[in-house]
Copies of this chain bind each other. A is one copy, B any other.
Amino acid sequence: MPATSHAGGEIRTPRERARAQTIADIIGLGRRHLAERGAAALSLRAVARDLGVVSSAVYRYVGSRDELLTLLLVDAYNDLGDAVDAAVKAVPAEEFRGRFAALARAVRGWALREPARYGLLFGSPVPGYQAPAERTTAPGTRVVISLVQILDAAHRAARLAGRGPSAVPAPLAADLEAIRRELGVEVPDALLARGTLVWASLFGAVSFEVFGQYGAGTFSAPDELFEHHIAVLADLAGL
């Protein structure tokens, strides 16, 4: 944290500009290494090599390998969040089901384009690395929040259908109430619990496809399969 950085994040001196550029380069190179060799193989020395600089120089910009990982994690979460937000906003606000489909397609599209970064976010945890919650939670919750807001908007418009049992065991109800309060949302218990499952299911389907759990060649029509899943999940969510 240089003392010369200014509120609002504007960059003034050439030195500061160069510094910001170098950090951006480091993140860009880290992204590439992540994509090519995976998170566990991410190395500061390799990044330094590609940056054309001696390995110790990188320590001017990032404090440690773990800090670089955190930067890349936040970067990836925001990339995904941006893709999802853009896709959702491209559909009129009242088309709740369409917005949900757009969200789902955006997640899948990003994951297929960026399998290694997707793996960093939603795969097995990186051994020996613990993400700092205070920097990671906000970007890491953008997609769920977007999903819950679609459900909430549909519910407020009385367009969210509650099928099946509406009662939920007490301890779970308490958790759901806390979530409603934190997100400023009104979706009732049963629908919120279903929303949680829809969320997990969406990522389960995407993970299976990206991580190759469907055997090679089992599904020659993965797009159709996913569209079918979207339709079923939208029904399940009550949209």
Q: How far is the CB of A188 from chain B (nearest CB, A)?
A: 14
Binds B, one of A16-24, A48-56, A96-104, A216-224: A216-224
Identify which of B40, B179, B228, B236 contacts A38 (C-beta below 8 A): B40
- Asked if A151 is at the interface of the complex by the 8 Å CB criterion, the answer is no
Most buried by B among A120, A123, A133: A123
Identify which of B172, B203, B204 contacts A224 (C-beta below 8 A): B172
Chain A interfacial positions (CB closer than 8 Å to B): 37-41, 116, 119-120, 122-128, 133, 137, 141, 164-165, 168-169, 171-172, 174-175, 178-179, 193-194, 196-197, 200-205, 207-208, 211-213, 215-216, 218-221, 224-225, 227-229, 231-233, 235-236
- Copy number in the complex reads 2
Identify which of B165, B174, B205, B216 contacts A201 (C-beta below 8 A): B205
B residues less than 8 Å from A179 (CB atoms): 218
- The chain B residue sitting closest to A216, CB to CB, is B133
Q: How far is the CB of A43 from chain B (nearest CB, A)?
A: 12
A-B contact pairs, 27 of them (CB 8 A): A38-B125, A38-B126, A38-B127, A39-B124, A40-B41, A119-B124, A122-B211, A123-B211, A125-B211, A141-B215, A169-B221, A169-B228, A171-B220, A172-B221, A174-B221, A193-B225, A196-B225, A196-B229, A197-B228, A200-B201, A200-B205, A200-B207, A200-B213, A201-B201, A201-B204, A203-B204, A236-B236
A168 touches B201 (CB 8 A): no
How long is the Cα–Cα vector from A193 to B203 in the complex, in angstroms?
17
Identify which of B41, B193, B211, B218 contacts A127 (C-beta below 8 A): B41
How long is the Cα–Cα vector from A75 to B143 in the complex, in angstroms?
36
How long is the Cα–Cα vector from A199 to B102 in the complex, in angstroms?
23
